[in-house]
Amino acid sequence: MQLRTRALETILIEKGYVEQAAIDQLIETYEKKIGPRNGAQVVAKAWVDPKFRQWLFEDGTAAIGSLGFGGRSGNHLVALENTASVHNMVVCTLCSCYPWAVLGLPPLWYKSAPYRSRAVADPRGVLRDFGMELPKDTEIRIWDSTAELRYLVVPMRPAGTEGWSEGKLVELVTRDSMIGTGRPKHPGELP
The residues annotated as belonging to the active site are 92, 95-97
Which one, 123 or 158, has the nearer CB to another protein? 123
| Measured distance CA(179)–CA(155) in Å, rounded | 9
Minimum distance from CB of 13 to another protein (Å)?
A: 8
CB of 97 to another protein, least distance (A): 10
Name the DSSP letter for residue 188: G
Separation of alpha carbons 87 and 156, rounded Å? 10
User: With 0-12 CB in 10 A as exposed, 13-18 as middle and 19+ as buried, what is 152?
Assistant: buried
Instruction: Give the pairing type, strands 86-91 and 77-81.
Output: unpaired
SS3 (DSSP) at 112:
coil
Of residues 9 and 49, the one with the C-beta less far from another protein: 9
Shorter beta-carbon distance to another protein: residue 49 or 129: 129
Smallest separation, CB 161 to another protein (Å): 25
Select 131 or 160, whichever has its Cβ closest to another protein: 131
> What gap in Å lies between CA 132 and CA 156, rounded to an integer?
15
Q: Would you list the DSSP string of 119-187?
A: TTT-HHHHHHHTT----TT-EEEEEE--SS-EEEEEPPPPTT-TT--HHHHHTT--HHHHHTSS-PPPG
Q: How far is the CB of 57 from another protein (least distance, A)?
A: 12
